[in-house]
Structure 1
Amino acid sequence: MRLRDAETWQQLRGAHVDWLGPWEATLPPDTQPPFVSHRSMVKAMLSRARAGQSLPFVVTWEGAMVGLLTVNGITLGSSRSANLGYWVARTYAGRGIIPTAVALICDHLFEVAQLHRIEIAIRPENERSLRVVEKLGFTEVGLAPSYLHIAGQWRDHRLFQLVVDDVPGRVIDRLAEPQ
């Protein structure tokens, strides 16, 4: 993610608000004021990235921005873990773009960042995202009630993890394996 991506991201997000709304994080009432623009959101993401707290990635397909993948909650020390969040525009869903992006980021996190564990939290009814973790061999670790504020309410999420010791090769290679 770069600051110059803000306008494209805003247009893409705006064009798919009905598709993304049921799954997108929202701020609980009586918390900090929301960002006033996508540009300010990108600035905040880049600031967290410089601090080593997150890694925001633009997801592209044939040179066009089609989604976003963010690594958050990066913890080093004895935990060496992070969590992933992602979305793709409806017009690009079902093409294997997000599973590929998630696999590539997981490989980067394991091989370059030397993380031990990657977590993805998914709403139980989000069948498309559940398919992503299934394809990549994430292990379900349980249900987290009221895990994240989504679409104006605290929502339950199923938690999945991938531990480096469970990946004998590269995560991207799992996409080539028969399902």
Structure 2
Amino acid sequence: MLRPLRVRADRREFLQLRSVNAAWTRPWDSTAPGAGAVAMSYAQMVRFQDKEAHEGRLLPFAIEVDGALAGQMHLFGISRGALLSAAAGYWIGEQYAGRSITPYALALAIDHAFGAVGLHRIEVNIRPDNDASLRVVEKLGLREEGLRKRYLHINGAWHDHLTFAVTAEELPTETMVERFRRFRGENAV
């Protein structure tokens, strides 16, 4: 399930999950270039995300599996007006990888964005060498839009990213969760 990240209740579990998975997530973690970057505490991060959500620029979610914190899902860079768009970012603990939790969580976030939030387009930007994330968008049938050169600062350097997207019109008769379930049914082993 997707839910808000809680300042007090999730602190210990979040920090433990990030610590145990540091080597797993480090190659894909976004970083701020330059000497001015300041690390935030867990509480500062949650408060910042909550403030951005209140301002309508971010939808931060905790990914919960069987009552345990498993990772995070974000819709960020939310634009209103003529664009009605956002980008999705996520990470999941290695112990949860390969179980289709991330594509399901992304499907839930997309459905929420197209429904309750009223967005029109969601994009996901993925490094070409991130095979696990490429499988996520493949499982959801997001269309590839091309390569963005030196698009995001990741793990201390600028990296190219492939852009994948979906618009509300591409889901005229089903939700993204239904599309994901259909895909899993057709491709079950």
Q: TM tier, shorter chain?
A: over 0.9
- Mapping for residues 134-173 of structure 1, pairs under 5 Å: 134-168=138-172, 169-173=174-178
Task: Tell me the equivalent position of 1:51.
Answer: 55
Looking at structure 1, the residues matched to 141 and 94 of structure 2 have their Cα atoms a distance apart, in angstroms, of: 24
Which of 44, 59, 71 pairs up with 1:67?
A: 71
Cα drift, residue 111 of structure 1: 1.0
Task: Tell me the equivalent position of 1:76.
Answer: 80
| Matched-pair contact (CA < 8 Å) for 1:80–1:114 | yes
AA matched with 2:29: E
- Mapping for residues 102-113 of structure 1, pairs under 5 Å: 102-113=106-117
1:139-158 CA deviation, whole Å, 9 max, x = no partner? 11110111111110001100
Task: Tell me the equivalent position of 1:175.
Answer: 180
Kindly report the root-mean-square deviation, in angstroms, between the aligned alpha carbons of the 2 structures: 1.0
Q: Where in structure 1 are there 5+ consecutive unaligned residues?
A: none
Q: Give the paired residue count.
A: 178
| Matched-pair contact (CA < 8 Å) for 1:144–1:158 | yes
AA matched with 1:21: R
Looking at structure 2, the residues matched to 95 and 69 of structure 1 have their Cα atoms a distance apart, in angstroms, of: 16
Cα drift, residue 175 of structure 1: 1.7
Which of 130, 140, 144 pairs up with 1:126?
A: 130
Task: Tell me the equivalent position of 1:31.
Answer: 36
Cα drift, residue 29 of structure 1: 1.6
Task: Tell me the equivalent position of 1:9.
Answer: 14
Amino-acid identity (%): 42
TM-score (normalizing by structure 2) = 0.91
Cα drift, residue 61 of structure 1: 0.5
| Matched-pair contact (CA < 8 Å) for 2:103–2:140 | yes
Looking at structure 1, the residues matched to 37 and 81 of structure 2 have their Cα atoms a distance apart, in angstroms, of: 29
TM-score (normalizing by structure 1) = 0.96
| Matched-pair contact (CA < 8 Å) for 1:148–1:156 | yes
Cα drift, residue 52 of structure 1: 0.8
Query: SS of 1:176's equivalent?
Result: helix
Q: Where in structure 2 are there 5+ consecutive unaligned residues?
A: none
Cα drift, residue 123 of structure 1: 0.5
